[in-house]
Amino acid sequence: MSDAVATEKEMLLTDAELLGFIAQGYHLIEPELPAGLNEAICEQTDALESNPGNEILARVPMLQQVYDHPQVRGALVSLLGEDLQMDGHRHLHVNVPGSRSQGWHQDGTNVRHHQTWCVLAMYFPHDVPADLGPTIIMPGTHFRNTPTDQLATYANLKGQVPLTVKAGTVAITHYDLWHAATRNKTTRERYMLKFLFNRMSQPSAPSWNFDATTAEETARSYLSTMVGAKGYSSDYYKEWELRKEMWQWFKGEQVDVPPGEFRNMLS
């Protein structure tokens, strides 16, 4: 086993971290990147004449170092399995001075399920203070299936989390998590690099740092006490069930769906 693999293995998520992702739909990482990497990425990005879209990795190849970092890889393997793949779609999101807030949205088309087949990995190469137009996310909404047109009419939500982060942070979110860019009140541009990663196979066993002696006890407390999306009490009960299903699914177990009950699950 090479050192790189050993390090990545050490950086797998714990049960508590994976359960936190199940409940809230995101996980933040502050990888220890090589000195100067964030600054060098910002400089190369500043020098681009136009937004290269999916070609951003070819134009700023140093980005690969961020996504190959053992801490980032460890989290991605934990969530998507060893055979995960980087998607061909990636984007440099430039939030320009004087921008207006974006509407709440889920990326992609509105085909949702309660498994984890795709995550967004948003990398912020510089500090993002509150006035620089941080991305906001709404914990727990990866289980919600609100029509896109209605979602776009929502404004400030109780419990929303602005990603006011330090340079180098990578926010991994479930693909369905509600998010939006906020208003940039400064005179500087804000960068966010968004890469997608896909799961290629159904889980057959835990791919994170699973501790068989304590996992179920940790799960019992996390899955029914961790605050997710705010809502009516009936929504909490729905959410707890969906969390339990996702936990079973991550472990590679058959998900029990009570007979006669409909679930919108792709398998």
Ligand X SMILES: O=C(O)CCC(=O)C(=O)O
Q: Give the footprint of ligand X on this chain (CB under 6 A).
A: 93, 95, 107, 135, 179, 181, 192
CB 100 within 8 A of CB 13: no
In the complex with ligand X, the residue whose CB is nearer, 91 or 113, is 91
In the complex with ligand X, the residue whose CB is nearer, 2 or 156, is 156
Q: Which residues contact 132 (CB under 8 A, 6 or more apart)?
A: 95, 184, 185, 186, 188, 190
Q: How far is the CB of 105 from Fe ion (least distance, A)?
A: 6
In the complex with ligand X, the residue whose CB is nearer, 180 or 219, is 180
What does 87 bind: Fe ion, ligand X, none (CB cut-off 5 to 8 Å by kind)?
Answer: none
Exposed/middle/buried for residue 2 (C-beta within 10 Å: 0-12, 13-18, 19+) = exposed
In the complex with Fe ion, the residue whose CB is nearer, 148 or 204, is 148
Q: How far is the CB of 99 from ligand X (least distance, A)?
A: 9
Q: Which amino acid is at 166?
A: K
Return the structure tokens found at 178. 């509600």
Question: Taken in order 38, 43, 44, 48, is the CA torsion positive or negative?
Answer: positive
What does 127 bind: ligand X, Fe ion, none (CB cut-off 5 to 8 Å by kind)?
Answer: none
For 90, phi then psi, to 5°, come to: -155, 160
What does 95 bind: ligand X, Fe ion, none (CB cut-off 5 to 8 Å by kind)?
Answer: ligand X
Q: How far is the CB of 149 from Fe ion (least distance, A)?
A: 16
Q: Are strands 169-174 and 118-124 parallel, antiparallel or unpaired?
A: antiparallel
- Give the interface with Fe ion as residue ranges (CB under 5 A): 107
In the complex with ligand X, the residue whose CB is nearer, 107 or 131, is 107
Q: Are strands 179-181 and 190-198 parallel, antiparallel or unpaired?
A: unpaired
Q: How far is the CB of 45 from Fe ion (least distance, A)?
A: 19
What does 93 bind: ligand X, Fe ion, none (CB cut-off 5 to 8 Å by kind)?
Answer: ligand X
Apex 94 CA angle, 88 and 99, nearest 5: 140
Q: How far is the CB of 115 from ligand X (least distance, A)?
A: 22
Q: How far is the CB of 185 from Fe ion (least distance, A)?
A: 20
Q: How far is the CB of 56 from ligand X (least distance, A)?
A: 14
DSSP 151-194: HTT----TT-EE----TTEEEEEETT--EEE--B-SSS-EEEEE
In the complex with Fe ion, the residue whose CB is nearer, 178 or 250, is 178
CB 122 within 8 A of CB 63: no
Which of 105, 98, 122 minimizes the C-alpha distance to 180? 105
Residues counted in the chain = 267
In the complex with ligand X, the residue whose CB is nearer, 123 or 249, is 123
